[in-house]
């Protein structure tokens, strides 16, 4: 594998900028925990880190956070990455697996933020009232301020259009839920127990002062709310660096061509555009991804179909509801 100088001479300004910034960040830190998911972005992140640390040596712990439901293709790809780069990728087990979290707390639906708001409302016995008045609902329930504000589109300063923190930001969701109350518990906690809490513990136990993650602003969602690629750790906290934060899809494709990046079979054979937790209801390409999973890994398809059964049904009902309005 060629090194850091090839990054600087590649001709793509986004790649050059990422390489120079990465070299600076590595210079200022002692030990990094680099999150490896087996996805396309993390493949590029790993390649950048290995090239840059030839120029600026730093101790790196590569970590994979096993959620309890993973593609076998992803696990095979981790072995390939270890062989290609001569590294070890530590497999961290979830505090509670995704199936266990779904049983204990509820299933994810729509997005992490929407799931969190719905969970808060379910916890106060909310009756999915059609009211648009925050004050009226506060007088009725007297708790869960954030959830009630979300439900009544109260976060928006300009009331003519919803804020991204309001239910109105997801078009027709409120209308749907008023007519179709969720019969199952909804929660985003599988993300916390399968990844976030495990990562925090790994950082503490390994003594890392830097975390490196494959987040890109162009992916949208919660990622688009951030406005920088680096957050300096303050008062003993760990810094966070996102080497690909400013990469467009074309920047990533060019990196892959220039440096011979090979992705897992999920991309190379099945045709996935992105991967995450297997069968996650948040996925924008859920139906097509599940069809591919059924063809290539039927056992994991059967497992996630049981784990997320209610969420899948509710999601499909919402999709049909939106189509009926058109």
**Which residues on neighbouring strands pair with residue 64, listed in sequence order?**
91
- Three-state secondary-structure class, residue 84: helix
> What is the spatial distance between Cα 32 and Cα 24, in angstroms, rounded to a whole number?
13
Task: Find the helix or strand (DSSP H, E) in which 63 lies.
Answer: strand 59-66
Q: Which residue has the higher pLDDT, 273 or 212?
A: 212
Reply yes or no on whether the pLDDT at 98 is more than 60: yes
The pTM score is: 0.88
Q: Which residues contact 214 (CB under 8 A, 6 or more apart)?
A: 35, 37, 39, 41, 42, 44, 45, 242, 243, 244
Kindly tell me if the per-residue pLDDT of 10 is higher than 70: yes
The tens digit of pLDDT for each residue in 279-290 reads 999 988 889 999
Convert the pLDDT of each residue in 237-277 to its tens digit: 899 999 999 999 999 999 999 999 999 999 999 988 888 78
pLDDT (tens digit, 9 = 90+) per residue, 52-86?
A: 999 989 999 999 999 999 999 999 999 999 999 99
Class of domain 4-97+192-266: alpha beta
Q: What angle is formed at CA 200 by the lines to CA 194 and CA 203, rounded to 5 degrees?
A: 125
Tokens of 27: 């210079």
Beta strands 239-241; 230-231: pairing state: antiparallel
To the nearest whole number, what is the mean pLDDT of the chain? 92
- pLDDT, position 32: 96
Q: How many angstroms separate the first and last alpha carbons of the chain?
A: 53
Domain ranges of the chain: 4-97+192-266, 110-181
Whole-number pLDDT of residue 201: 93
Average the pLDDT over 24-29 and give the result. Answer: 95
């Amino acid at each position: 594998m060629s090194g850091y100088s090839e990054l600087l001479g590649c001709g793509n300004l986004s790649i050059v900028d990422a390489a120079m910034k990465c070299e600076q960040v590595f210079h200022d830190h002692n030990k990094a925990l680099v999150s490896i998911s087996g996805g396309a972005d993390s493949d590029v992140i790993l390649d950048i880190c290995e090239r840059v640390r030839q120029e600026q040596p730093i101790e790196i712990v590569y970590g994979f956070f096993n959620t309890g439901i993973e593609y076998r293709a992803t696990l095979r790809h981790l072995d390939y990455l270890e062989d290609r780069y001569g590294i070890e990728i530590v497999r961290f087990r979830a505090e509670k697996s995704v199936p266990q979290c779904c049983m204990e707390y509820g299933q994810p639906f729509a997005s992490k933020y929407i799931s969190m708001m719905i969970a808060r409302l379910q916890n106060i016995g909310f009756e999915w009232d059609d009211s648009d008045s925050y004050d009226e609902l506060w007088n009725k329930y007297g708790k869960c301020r954030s959830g009630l504000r979300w439900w009544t589109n109260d976060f928006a300063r300009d009331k003519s259009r919803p804020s991204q923190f309001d239910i109105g930001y997801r078009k027709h969701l409120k209308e749907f839920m008023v007519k179709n109350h969720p019969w199952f518990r909804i929660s985003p906690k599988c993300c916390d127990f399968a990844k976030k809490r495990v990562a925090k513990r790994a950082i503490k136990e390994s003594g890392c002062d830097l975390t490196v993650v494959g987040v890109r602003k162009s992916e949208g969602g919660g990622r688009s709310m951030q406005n920088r690629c680096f957050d300096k750790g303050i008062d003993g906290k760990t810094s966070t660096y996102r080497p690909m934060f400013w990469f467009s899809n074309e920047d990533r494709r060019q990196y892959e061509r220039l440096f011979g990046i090979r992705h897992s079979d999920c991309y190379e054979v099945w045709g996935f555009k992105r991967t995450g937790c297997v069968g996650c209801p948040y996925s924008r390409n859920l139906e097509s991804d599940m069809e591919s999973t059924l063809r290539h890994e039927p056992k994991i398809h059967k497992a996630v179909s049981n784990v997320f059964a209610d969420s899948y049904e509710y999601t499909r009902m919402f999709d049909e509801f939106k189509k009926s309005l058109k």
